[in-house]
Chains A and B, each alone.
Chain A
Amino acid sequence: MVEVYKPQSLKEALELLEFNDCTVFAGGTDLMVKKKQWTGLEPCFDKPVVLISEIDELTEIKRDENYLYIGAACTFSQLIESSLIPEFYKCVFVEMASPSIRNMATIGGNICNSSPAGDCLPLLYALDANLLIQSSCRNFEVPIEDFIIGPGRNILKSGELVTKVKILNSNFNIIKYRKVGARKSTVLSKLSFIGLADMEDKRLHDIRLAFGAVAPTVVRNREIEAEILNMYSMGLVDVQEITGYYSILIRPIDDQRSTAKYRKSSCKRLLEDFIKSLL
């Protein structure tokens, strides 16, 4: 038998987690697959399960002057339907999995699963998203790239919960997102690319580039982005040089979904295309 808790508030959940080693269960769309056994047997959870998907504090979406706050247990369908979520986020979310999975899967779950192929991660990296982490004794904020430390690995400790995603309101007017998978729906990505730019009168104010599924964690690099801004301001954009920088960071593998060569060269072409679109 699996022991299941269903706390009614965030406080109750955090208290539970403080004293019990539990598996946190939000949408369950990854967990139920990982824990699946022979049909007819219960899923093999080795710890008690805490259900958090209906806790009000975790399912809110709020926006103030500076920030957008997304509750960690918001489902992707909820985000797609919300008027507070910018349209280009939604373009990323609608390419995830299938409608039935988006109805269950949560943004916090996708983050904590910490897969290099996690579909919302390149967007969150590009947006400089911070995560709010809470336990019964402390609250703190961490940038997403410091949270995820390897494939399936993050810094979350026992007793802690990711409660919100905090994103600075920004103004990007050039947006390119590509999820490359073997089919259009219900598929894990072979690679993904997001390019965001804030451009005005041929002047580039900001650029963000992130690549998914081509390294142990999402690839994003602020120094290269700064260098690109620098190149633009000088009017000396060297596409080859830029792709060369990323070539060191993009270290994909051969697996059952694709080849390292394909992943790397597709990233290169998508990047070149994005950079050229800014010229």
Chain B
Amino acid sequence: MKTDISAPVKRDDVADKLAGLTCYIGDMRNEDMLYAKTLRSKEARAKIASIEYPVMPEGYFIVGKNDIPGRNRVKLLLEDWPFFAEDVVNYIGEPIALIVGSDKAVIQELIAATKVIYQKLEPILSIDDSGLLPIYGETNSFADYSFGKGDIDKVKRIAKYIYEGTYETGYQEQFYLEPQGVIAEFKEGKATIYGSLQCPYYIKNAVIDCLGISSDRVRIVQATTGGAFGGKEDYPSLLAGQAACAALKANKPVCLLLERNEDIECTTKRHPSRIRLTSYVDEGFKLIGLEADIVIDAGAYAGLSGVVLQRAMFAAAGVYNVENLRVHGKAIATNKVVSGAFRGFGSPQAFFAIEMHMEHAAKEMGVDPMEFKLQNVVKKWDKSTTGGIFRDKNLLPEMVQRVTEMSGFAEKKQTSKKPRNDNKRRGIGLSMFLHGCGFTGNGERDHIKAHVKLAKNSRDEVEILISNVEMGQGINTTMKKIAANALEIPIERVIFINPDTDRVPDSGPTVASRTIVVVGRLVYEAAIELKEKWQVGAVQEAECSYQYPEGYEWDNDSLSGDAYTNYSWGVNAVEVELDTLTFESKIIGVWAVFDIGKSIDDRIVKGQIDGGIVQGLGYASMEVMENQQGRFKQRSSTDYIIPTAMDIPIIQSELMCQPYSGGPFGAKGLGELTLVGSPIAYALAIEDAIDAGINSIPVRPELLMEVMADDKKY
């Protein structure tokens, strides 16, 4: 039926989820199923001298590096991450082996009775050059990139103002509601993995390599996934390979589920970062040059760090037009948990740095930060950091205008300066940001090459066959809406089932805010094709493959051209009230405007906005994860604190729409954008309240106490 696609419809997954009826991986049972528990490294860096296992009772197995028929490497970007540690361990929690059997109590005793003899090595625990034996290569960095444009040396000579600052961000744990888990079984020479996951084909490729068998003998089935936020992009490949080897050895299905605290301590986190920026400004307050030096803490193995670093580097100039630019970035290996994918993927770190920097630079020059920022915002036909072109109108100035109205920004800026006598201070901050949607650079064109299929049955129901997953973000509903709308049939006649790689083509992973804008577009096009050839009662199919849009260019060697084909935009304001006795800050207002092109479902969009903003506010305020001698101090759900509904006021948000012609109905990406801006607005609000500079997040009260005691300005 032709209706406005933005009008909310009922999500058909929600009733069962609310009633607790939905079957997650932890609810799946099989009579023969064995359980697996991971023997983990207790050392941050050591050689494994020997492992003394107790005698395994009948039906119990050790599964380790020698039980991998194929390659002991998780297939990701570089080939360094083992499924099971070989001769060395590189972080506390690194898997050494699985103990597998039918009785969990027995498995637990066997693990406790296992002795690993280590020869300790001096661990690398910081991103500063340690002079210690490198973990990776000769320079100990997994990635080291540079790019630039214009003539930075010239602007250095002519700039009237030069401003330099260093910004740091901490770890963040995804804290999905459902911990990670897979079940693997091996029947008639074929491995099937059921799991809580984002990227069925990543896992398929990893298991093919791990088992050393052909593609037709590996099948991945997504189990309903209770949240992921990027945490189930990379890590499930490791779990799937381990469980597959265990199922092969035991000749029975094997269930490998992580416990909550095990998941917090051992799986991937957001990369901590340190970013140094130097900006060059002329006498008219035009930002004429920028140098950025970005270092991210990658942890023990490369994982996805190279692409996380690229996204951070491409975002180095934020939403600002800079014609002369030099960016250098490194992903450093450390003996800590592998840093990985997390909503925003390098971008939250870079935006925090540039937004704080612009604010501080403006204050230093004695100009209004908002005016300085707006004066330098990119406009249509301006070039991106990599020399790509912004082809659509940028609504940021209107969005800033609207957020300032909604929040009463100007007035609050004034009142926050008035002295009070109740041990409270108020402050308000505003951030401007963008997110390039879809894979970075040539990813969609050369690596992913997404392919989708629609299959119509004789009852004229249409099934969407894609490898993207519902993980709480609503694509079960939005994809059906796109297809139903294009086909002009009721949404009830469109079917979406959790992907199974034996049934669905590879439409790529569920990441990078690409699902709606890239895959949704392909579903739309396939639907239009199916509609044109529609025969009542006939079994029919329609397929569609990704085409790189005309007129865009990308060169992966020089990192130049259009890093993204479309951009979503956001403006956030946050108001805080700070208690000067305890330095606790209460968030008293959040206002947001986003341009995500056409909204596919206003209620689902609102869910993403609220969730992303809250996750960003947690990142900036209370989500503290400190590493001490290679071990996290906050390693349980009791100690790693994320916000609750009590900590966040009602979020006032609106949409503005600059459609993207390459997205379905003009839609752009949404999921990650919503997390990028709130940490910055929060930090700026705190700055406004205390009238001193914040250069790192999380801004916990302990830090604020030091900043205020220092009395250091910016």
Q: Which residues of A line the B interface, CB within 8 A?
A: 33, 37-41, 178, 180, 182-188, 255-259, 261-262, 265-266, 269-270, 273
Contacts and interface: CB of A to CB of B under 8 A. Distances in A.
A270 B582 contact: yes
Contacts of B624: 182
A180 B644 contact: no
B643 A41 contact: no
A255 to B, nearest CB: 8
16 contacts: A37-B108, A39-B259, A183-B641, A183-B642, A183-B647, A184-B644, A184-B646, A185-B646, A185-B647, A188-B638, A256-B633, A258-B702, A262-B702, A266-B583, A266-B701, A269-B582
A259 B622 CA distance: 14
B22 interface: no
Contacts of B635: 256
B108 A41 contact: yes
A202 B179 CA distance: 58
State the 9 A-B residue pairs at the shortest beta-carbon distance, nearest first: A184-B646, A256-B633, A182-B641, A185-B646, A262-B702, A269-B581, A256-B639, A182-B622, A185-B644
B644 A186 contact: yes
Contact of A266 (B581, B622, B647): B581
Contact of A273 (B26, B35, B259, B423): B423
Given A256-B633, A262-B701, A184 B108 contact: no
Contact of A183 (B105, B108, B423, B646): B646
B705 interface: yes
A262 B581 CA distance: 11
B563 to A, nearest CB: 37
B120 interface: no
Contacts of A40: 35, 104
B37 interface: yes
Contacts of A186: 644
Contacts of B104: 38, 40-41
B622 A183 contact: yes
A44 to B, nearest CB: 10
Nearest to B261: A36
Contacts of B700: 182
Contact of B582 (A38, A183, A259, A266): A266
A187 B641 contact: yes
A180 B582 contact: yes
Contacts of A185: 644, 646-647
B473 interface: no
B634 interface: yes
A141 to B, nearest CB: 34
Interface string B544-581: 00000000000000000000000000000000000011
A273 B581 contact: yes
Contacts of A257: 639
B702 A183 contact: no
Nearest to B107: A38
Nearest to A273: B581
A256 B634 contact: yes
A186 to B, nearest CB: 6
B16 to A, nearest CB: 22
B257 interface: yes
B584 interface: yes
A266 B634 CA distance: 22
Nearest to A188: B638
Nearest to A269: B581
Nearest to B586: A184
Nearest to A262: B702
Contacts, number: 67
Contacts of B701: 180, 262, 266
Contact of B644 (A33, A39, A183, A273): A183
Interface string B467-481: 000000000000000
Nearest to B35: A40
Interface in B4-63: 26, 35, 37
A265 B709 CA distance: 11
A41 B584 CA distance: 40
Given A38-B259, A41-B108, A187-B641, 20 more contacts: A38-B104, A41-B105, A180-B582, A180-B701, A182-B700, A183-B641, A183-B644, A185-B644, A185-B646, A186-B644, A255-B633, A256-B633, A256-B635, A256-B639, A265-B705, A266-B701, A269-B581, A270-B582, A273-B423, A273-B581
Contacts of A265: 705
Interface in B363-399: none
Nearest to A182: B641
A262 B705 contact: yes
A38 B108 contact: yes
A37 B111 CA distance: 14
Nearest to A39: B259
Contacts of A39: 26, 257, 259
Contacts of B108: 37-38, 41
Interface in B345-372: none
Contacts of B639: 256-257
A262 B624 CA distance: 15
Contacts of B644: 183-186
Contacts of B634: 256
B581 A270 contact: yes
A190 B108 CA distance: 34
Contacts of A37: 108
A186 B644 CA distance: 8
Contacts of A258: 702
A261 B641 CA distance: 20
Contacts of A178: 581-582
Contacts of B633: 255-256
B174 to A, nearest CB: 18
Contacts of A269: 580-582
Contacts of A273: 423, 581
Interface in B658-714: 700-702, 705
Nearest to A187: B641
Contacts of B105: 41
A182 B626 CA distance: 15
B705 A184 contact: no
A183 B637 CA distance: 13
A67 B364 CA distance: 63
Interface string B611-633: 00000000000101010000001
A273 B634 CA distance: 31
Nearest to A265: B705
Contacts of B641: 182-183, 187
Contact of B37 (A38, A182, A187): A38
B643 A183 contact: yes
Contacts of A188: 638
Contacts of A270: 581-582
Contacts of A259: 702
Contacts of B642: 183
Nearest to B258: A39
Contact of A184 (B580, B582, B647): B647
Contacts of A184: 644, 646-647
B226 to A, nearest CB: 15
Interface string B251-289: 000000101000000000000000000000000000000
Contacts of B643: 183
Nearest to A191: B582
Contacts of A183: 622, 641-644, 646-647
A172 B639 CA distance: 35
Interface string B580-604: 1111100000000000000000000
A38 B111 CA distance: 12
A255 B633 CA distance: 8
Given A41-B105, A256-B633, A180 B584 contact: yes
Contacts of A38: 37, 104, 108, 259
A184 B639 CA distance: 14
Contacts of A180: 582, 584, 701
B580 to A, nearest CB: 8
A183 B701 CA distance: 11
A4 B644 CA distance: 35
